[in-house]
């Protein structure tokens, strides 16, 4: 599963227009860096893996892998400051470009680790609270999509899993993530072109708990169960996205059944 | 008719009203319907005096009518009036007739048996019920129940009585709630809606179903697909009845993806059966080419029990209801024409 070169180049140009020097700053260090957040959907759209997506983001999120050497993170942030970016007063990981233009207004530079003992230091690096969650990044690293140099983005299944974990750990604050993954599954099923590849990615991942958790979530929505994956909990978010104009309740269940059959079982 | 006068006989939509004795004379198109008509007089007309108008009544019919004190008129031949002062007619004991209990035949095994009985040739009709049940692997006990319900002593008599049921009895019986148990209609609340990634003709669709069946997957044409293969319906929709466990294979084989309300063409409805597909008794035990005029009628379509399929056409659309009625008519005509 690969990103098309022309799409990568087009996206890089767009990014450079909005946030000049950002990609260069990231490439100054060699740690694995992931593009995450809402702009990943923009790339999925450009790849035509999904036909549309209701939510548009105004910012870009990158997360740098922390393996014990904090310089990898500081190199990126320092380069941004040298390029004229301004650090946000409220969010220490947020940087605003010298001039606002284009679709993306600012960048959040985050860090992640898949090493449990390093989690506390990673949070310290970004100066975020203890409830900042890194679950799902192991699966994201399993079959990432290459953008350029050391920069990757999660494949759609990994993104679904990341958003599941984000919502699961903070359901009151992260309803947006649950709504995102619902819409992504619906859109992927409606197009259905890459489901086979997602299945292969999952089959090649040795940790079976990912499949188990994804299956639980899908079945809970299919059978309209109460519990952590109750659609009613994000009814407002779904309505705001006008998803119910496109998918009836039965169609939502049917799309989740289709996704489960094609990818997870 | 020279036997009636305008003073006492009032023309109505059902026949004539004989005002002098206040008798409703109801026109019967065939004498075959007489016995059933007689059985339902009380239920349909209560205490109202009722008579029969029929040009083809025979001696046995007249004996029956006389015995029951039911007036009759054979146009230009004979008029017999039994007035209110005559003893009231007593309808024959109906006890569990198909009218009161259509479940006797509207069930998976019942429709399977009825379909075979109607298809028997003259020689087979002379055989005993046991022999017929054995030859066609029918449920002997169910056949016995049906024969009792129709008060038929022989297979031939049973066949005649089934043919004597009015045509509009069937759709009404199909729709009675109790008749909906044990069989899955072609549209239920669990029906899924998919879209074909590449459009298929009715024949290509049928071929794919046959291929899946040959690999022992429990898949069958739905009602819409069946009507399309019979060239009775021209629509871009198809449907299937399947064992839900085989849904992944069906989705893969037909290259389907879920449809949304914006998708209107190349739609495939998939309905999961309530049990194993074999229990639905979709196939006939006696294949016949019912529609020799229809081109490309494939042998697998002949295996279908048309009565069972007509039961399952619960789409509640006017065009489908009309087709159902028309096909019922054709079905009974095709199977009964050699009798005349």
| Structure tokens belonging to residue B29 | 């198109």
> What's the rounded mean pLDDT across residues A49-53?
93
Check: CB of residue A109 under 8 Å from CB of residue A76.
yes
Q: Parallel, antiparallel, or unpaired: how do β-strands B238-242 and B267-272 relate?
A: parallel
| Structure tokens belonging to residue B138 | 């029918």
- Tokens 């087709």 correspond to B323
- Using CA atoms, how far apart are residues A126 and A114, in angstroms rounded to an integer? 16
Picking from A228, A226, A225, A231, the residue whose alpha carbon sits closest to that of residue A248 is: A231
- Taking the whole predicted model, whether its pTM rises above 0.90 is answered as no
Residues in chain A whose beta carbon is closer than 8 A to a beta carbon of chain B?
189-192, 246-248, 251, 254-255, 257-258, 261-262, 265
Question: Residue B36: its pLDDT value, please?
Answer: 81
- Tokens 């010298």 correspond to A98
Give A146's strand partners.
A152
CA distance A140 to chain B (A): 26
End-to-end CA distance of chain B: 27
Distance of CA B259 to the CA centre of its chain: 34
* Cross-chain CB nearest to B257 (options A190, A246, A247): A190
- Using CA atoms, how far apart are residues A192 and B207, in angstroms rounded to an integer? 24
Q: What strand order describes the sheet that includes A59-65?
A: A86-87, A94-96, A106-112, A59-65, A33-36, A151-153, A145-148
Check: CB of residue B316 under 8 Å from CB of residue B292.
no
- Name the E strands within chain A: 33-36, 59-65, 86-87, 94-96, 106-112, 145-148, 151-153
pLDDT tens-digit series, residues B24-82: 999 888 888 888 888 777 667 777 889 999 988 888 888 889 888 899 998 888 889 98
B279 torsion bin: left (phi>0), alpha (psi -120 to 50), beta (else)? alpha
Task: List per-residue pLDDT tens for chain B, 340 residues long.
Answer: 556 777 788 888 888 888 888 899 998 888 888 888 887 776 677 778 899 999 888 888 888 898 888 999 988 888 899 887 664 444 444 445 656 577 788 999 999 999 999 999 999 999 999 999 999 999 999 999 999 989 999 999 999 999 988 888 898 888 887 777 789 999 999 999 999 988 898 889 989 999 999 999 999 999 999 998 888 888 889 999 999 999 999 999 999 999 988 899 999 999 999 989 999 999 999 988 777 666 555 567 788 999 999 999 988 888 998 999 999 999 998 888 766 5
Task: Judge: B262–A246 Cβ closer than 8 Å, yes or no.
Answer: yes
Task: Judge: A248–B261 Cβ closer than 8 Å, yes or no.
Answer: yes
Q: What is the CA radius of gyration of chain B?
A: 24
End-to-end CA distance of chain A: 20
Picking from B49, B62, B54, B52, the residue whose alpha carbon sits closest to that of residue B21 is: B49
- Tokens 């319907």 correspond to B33
What single string gives the DSSP state of each residue in A89-115?
Answer: SS-TTEEE-SS--SS--EEEEEEE-S-
């Amino acid at each position: 599963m690969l990103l098309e070169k022309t799409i990568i180049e087009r996206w890089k140009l767009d990014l450079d227009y909005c946030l000049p020097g950002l990609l260069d700053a990231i490439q100054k260090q060699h740690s694995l860096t992931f593009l995450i957040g809402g702009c990943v959907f923009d790339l999925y759209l450009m790849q035509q893996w999904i036909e549309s997506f209701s939510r548009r983001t105004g910012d870009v999120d990158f997360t740098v892998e922390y393996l014990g050497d904090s310089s990898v993170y500081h190199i990126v942030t320092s380069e941004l400051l040298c390029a004229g970016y301004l650090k946000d007063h409220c969010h220490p990981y947020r940087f605003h470009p010298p001039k606002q233009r284009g679709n993306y207004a600012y960048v959040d530079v985050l860090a992640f680790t898949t090493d449990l003992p390093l989690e506390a230091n990673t949070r310290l690096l970004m100066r975020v609270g203890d409830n900042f969650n890194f679950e799902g990044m192991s699966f994201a690293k399993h079959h990432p999509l290459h953008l350029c140099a050391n920069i990757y983005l999660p494949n759609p299944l990994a993104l679904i899993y990341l958003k599941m974990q984000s919502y699961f750990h903070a359901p009151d604050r992260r309803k947006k993530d649950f709504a995102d993954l619902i819409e992504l599954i619906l859109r992927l099923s409606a197009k259905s072109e890459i489901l086979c590849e997602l299945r292969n990615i999952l089959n090649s991942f040795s940790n079976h708990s990912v499949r188990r958790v994804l299956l639980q979530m899908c079945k809970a929505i299919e059978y309209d169960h109460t519990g952590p994956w109750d659609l009613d909990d994000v009814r407002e978010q779904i309505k705001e996205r006008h998803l119910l104009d496109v998918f009836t309740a039965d169609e939502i269940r049917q799309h989740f059944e289709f996704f489960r059959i094609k990818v997870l079982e | 008719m020279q036997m009636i006068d305008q003073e006492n006989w009032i023309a109505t939509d059902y026949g004539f009203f004989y005002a002098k004795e206040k008798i409703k004379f109801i026109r019967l198109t065939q004498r075959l319907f007489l016995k059933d008509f007689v059985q339902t007089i009380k239920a349909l007309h209560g205490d109202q005096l009722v008579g029969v108008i029929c040009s083809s009544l025979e001696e046995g019919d007249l004996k029956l009518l006389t015995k029951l004190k039911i007036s009759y008129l054979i146009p230009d031949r004979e008029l017999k009036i039994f007035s209110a002062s005559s003893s009231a007619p007593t309808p024959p004991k109906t006890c569990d007739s198909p009218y009161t209990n259509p479940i006797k035949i509207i069930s998976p095994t019942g429709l399977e048996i009825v379909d075979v009985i109607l298809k028997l040739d003259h020689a087979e009709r002379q055989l005993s019920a046991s022999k017929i049940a054995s030859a066609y692997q029918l449920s002997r006990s169910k056949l016995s129940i049906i024969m009792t319900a129709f008060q038929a002593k022989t297979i031939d008599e049973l066949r005649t009585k089934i043919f004597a049921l009015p045509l509009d009895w069937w759709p009404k019986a199909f729709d009675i709630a109790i008749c909906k148990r044990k069989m899955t209609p072609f549209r239920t609340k669990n029906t899924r809606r998919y879209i074909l990634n590449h459009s298929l003709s009715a024949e290509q669709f049928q071929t794919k179903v046959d291929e899946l069946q040959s690999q022992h997957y429990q898949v069958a044409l739905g009602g819409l697909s069946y009507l399309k293969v019979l060239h009775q319906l021209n629509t871009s929709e198809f449907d299937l009845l399947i064992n839900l466990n085989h849904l992944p294979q069906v989705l893969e084989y037909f290259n389907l993806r879920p449809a949304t309300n914006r998708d209107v063409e190349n739609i495939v409805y998939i309905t999961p059966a309530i049990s194993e597909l074999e229990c639905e008794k979709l196939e006939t035990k006696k294949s016949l080419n019912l529609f020799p005029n229809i081109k490309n009628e494939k042998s697998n379509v002949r295996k279908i029990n048309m009565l069972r399929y007509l039961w399952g056409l619960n789409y509640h659309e006017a065009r489908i209801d009309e087709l159902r009625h028309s096909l019922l008519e054709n079905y009974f005509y095709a199977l009964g024409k050699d009798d005349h």
